[in-house]
Structure 1
Amino acid sequence: MGFMNKQVFRCGFSLLLAFCLVFGSLIPPATALTQQQKLVSEVWRIVNRSYLDETFNHQNWSDMRQNALKKPLPNDQAAYTAIQNMLKSLDDPFTRFLDPEQYRSLQVNTSGELTGVGLQIALNPQTGTLEVITPIEGSPAEKAGLKPRDRILKIEGLSTENLTLDEAAARMRGPIGSVVSLLIGREGEGEKEITLVRDRIELNPVVADLRLSPQGKPFGYLRLTQFNANAAMELAHAISSLEKKGAAAYILDLRNNPGGLLQAGIEVARQWLDSGTIVYTVNRQGIQGNFEASGSSITQDPLVILVNQGTASASEILAGALQDNGRAQLVGETTFGKGLIQSLFELSDGSGLAVTIAKYETPDHRDINKLGIKPDIVITQQPINREQIGTAADSQYQAAVELLSKNSVVAGS
């Protein structure tokens, strides 16, 4: 698919990342430039070539390079600051610079913003506020009562207002057993300080269970918490196992799933679809790439997908693909609305650069950025705790079970 098929995309809510290398040999020799100036020029060139918005936020991008190089850059930190200021002018929280330590940390961590307290975090694209996507099951953050959409106002007394996503994540990381305090803001409640003890975070992306409908019909309940490197394989094993146990229908729970690897989302879609488009990608030239089903579905049994405001990015790609292809019906609340794709470039000094290079559209060419995907059946629900998910206290889940019981969900062809 042209420029798209050479990159492995990461479609995290907080970042969509594609890993591709930019080697120093690509930079024209410029003996008059210092090492720091070369780095600034390297970043400028990548953005100039790849950035989705060809107006660069309605500004002269060439002037930005000239202005950045006019100032003295005596050390690496000065260059990093100049780069961050240059990128800030784009007004895109997802296009950002990562210093070598942040870049190494991101490469090691398949979930993007998974920290030592077990929080997945994002900058709200409308407000720029640092928010909780979801606490990880069993983590210190969950045990302390943190919830999706909580605003993180301060970390160790430092305001998060001017912190990048990576700086915030770095401040919450630390040795197991060490302590970090967060000032939290929650809708309808006052601010409160929470103290967390950092711990090792174990993350299993798939929860699978065979259940019976009120009519005694066996169905599979699958909850997918993120699209990490193991998600597609783990889900395939879970579906196959449930098929052998006699599952005749499925509920796939994508609530509070912030995304992850785009390729994992595509592979999961292929487990449910035999044919049809999964997603379109559009770059700044308007060139469309697309990913298609490959005839490798595991089951054609009826499927209902649960979504909510925390369903984002790769989760929205999956939900949109199965909804537009008539393969599944969606129940719950309108999804988050993250429809941009970033590519992560490795820079010559070991730092990294995430750049928004494309947007995606559903098979029916819906652009869901900042809009989200509306479910077929809208069921709003007050927040419930982890133990109540998939129980009688979970009205969205109960609506999905009722929908399956009516046999009104038709499997796609």
Structure 2
Amino acid sequence: MPTRLIQLGLLVLLQFVVCWGVWSQPALALTDEQELVNEAWRIVNRSYLDATFNHQNWLRLRHKLLRQPLNDRASAYAAIDQMLASLGDPFTRFLDPDQYRSLQVSTSGELTGVGLQITIAEESGQLQVITPLEGSPAEAVGIQPLDYILKIDGVSTTGMSLDEAADRMRGPIGTQVVLTIVSNQTPQAKPRDITVTRDRILLNPVTAQLHLTPQGMPIGYLRLSQFNANAVQELKRALLTLEQSHPVGYILDLRNNPGGLLQAGIEIARLWLDEGPIVYTVNRQGVLGSFEAMGSAVTHAPLVVLVNQGTASASEILAGALQDSGRAILVGERTFGKGLIQSLFKLSDGSGMAVTVAKYETPNHHDIHQRGIQPDRIVPLPPLPRQLMGTEADLQYQAAVEILTQKTVLVGAA
């Protein structure tokens, strides 16, 4: 940064610039590794939700990092990891080139591994399951939402980042990984080792079926397992197909849906809503952005949405929009409570970062982060095999059928 000369009348003030802690020392060219760290620092400086950067001097941290020996790409990555860790936000994280490509693949509709959506529990710092993906090896062996993962192949997960944990669970199809799991739902539960065989997970996120009520009335049942790049197109196609059978109502099952692409959640809300706000986003300046429904809904038939503790992120956006607008009745259990929005940034060497850039609020301005969404009708349900969801054994589903039947009778009586 050049020295500037400011003349005020006869008084001349010379402003010296501090560079690397030495007065008026000329700026030095940065190495490639320093440039990469500086690039990452600038992205966070410009975009991160918390303007206090976890109550630290963010500029001083930059100077400290760039004074470290950065002799190769690994040391630069370590410096970026150190920088992001100082924010105390498990969702803001560095992704090496392989991790960055893998994250892009996981939202594109296909992935390989055990099929777990994971987080770091903010109250305990432990690695925790958001939900197993539908049809995944993890679901097949009985891993449940909110379970803690204590070890991966015998290695403690204490202090392990989300991406390191994901890396350890990935591997060639047919290989095995041993997860040490303890239930968060059962008091005094003991850890147990579960062997999971890795496989390819094809992510067609929509299950659509036409069901009949005990009175013989048709109901459309739609199960959405996550919000990937296929979700909007597949759900719209399924909804249009079911509409041809003229169902008296719909059940949208968002249980164990960990979220995914924010835009997919917004577009799916527009399939059900004619107009009105869907979600508000709030950045660190407190500026409200909004996404709204501005067209014509595919159907106006009565709607019940099923939610549970594995309903998170974009699923909560959709559920909150439908609940606050009065478009749907929510049935089940309080949702997970992830109300932060991350953007994916690609760095110049092919690595990247996921950075928390905003939080969201429902149309009625409810902040659901760490709070979740309370259903209109609470129906507890023990862990249920996927093949029994949407059947007579599914108490939450049966409650939804009862509500739709009552609404249909009332409309008919009117």
Partner of 1:209: 209
Structure 1 portions without partners, runs of 5+: 1-29
**SS of alignment partner, residue 234 of structure 1:** helix
| Counterpart Cα distance in 2 of 1:326 and 1:137 | 29
Kindly tell me: are residues 35 and 269 of structure 1, through their superposed partners in 2, closer, same or farther at Cα, counting changes over 3 Å?
same
**Aligned-residue offset at 1:88:** 1.0
Superposition pairs of residues 144-183 of structure 1, within 5 angstroms = 144-183=141-180
Residue 391 of structure 1 pairs with residue 391 of structure 2: yes
Does the aligned pair in 1 maintain the 2:132–2:256 contact within 8 Å?
no
Residues 328 and 409, structure 1, Cα contact 8 Å, conserved in 2: no
Q: Deviations over 1:248-291 (max 9, x none)?
A: 20010101100011111111100000011111111111111111
Equivalent residue pairs, number: 382
Find the counterpart in structure 2 of residue 3 from structure 1. none
1:88-167 matches, within 5 Å, as: 88-110=85-107, 115-167=112-164
CA gap of 1:31–1:101, structure 2 versus 1, over 3 A, is farther
Indicate if the aligned counterparts of 2:181 and 2:191 stay in contact, CA closer than 8 A.
Answer: yes
Cα deviation for residue 297 of structure 1 reads 0.8
For 1:9-408, list aligned pairs within 5 A. Answer: 32-110=29-107, 115-187=112-184, 188=186, 189-407=189-407
Q: Does structure 2 retain, via aligned residues, the 8 Å contact 1:93–1:128? A: no
Work out the CA distance in 1 between the residues paired with 2:326 and 2:264. 21
Structure 1 residues 31-63: Cα deviation after superposition (integer angstroms, max 9, x where no partner): 521111111111111111111111111111111
In 1: Cα distance, 2:209 partner to 2:249 partner: 12
Other structure's SS at 1:33 match: coil
Task: Give the CA deviation at 1:149.
Answer: 1.6
Q: CA RMSD in A?
A: 1.8
Q: Give the Cα–Cα distance (whole angstroms) in 2 for the partners of residues 341 and 351 of structure 1.
A: 20
> What CA distance in whole angstroms lies between the structure 1 residues aligned with 2:109 and 2:122?
17
CA contact (8 A) 2:248 2:408 kept: no
User: Mean alpha-carbon deviation: is it higher for 106-115 or for 137-146?
Assistant: 106-115
Distance 2:202 2:102 in 1: 17
Which string of whole-angstrom CA distances, capped at 9 and with x for unpartnered residues, describes residues 107-153 of structure 1? Answer: 22217995412222222233332122222333322222222222111
Mark the CA change 1:192 to 1:113 in structure 2 (over 3 Å): closer, same or farther.
farther
What is the TM-score with the length of structure 2 in the denominator? 0.88
Amino acid at match of 1:72: P
TM-score normalised by the chain length of structure 1: 0.89
2: CA distance, partners of 1:290 / 1:410 = 35
Give the unaligned 5+ runs of structure 2. 1-26
> Could you tell me how far apart the structure 2 residues matched to 1:113 and 1:285 are?
36
- 1:215 deviation in Å? 2.1
* Structure-2 separation of matches of 1:175 and 1:113: 14
Aligned to 2:21: none
* 1:409–1:328 Cα change, 3 Å: farther
8 A contact 1:303–1:409 mirrored in 2: no
1:303-355, Cα deviation, whole Å (9 max, x unpaired): 00001111011000001111111100101111111111111111111110111
SS of the residue corresponding to residue 406 of structure 1 reads: helix
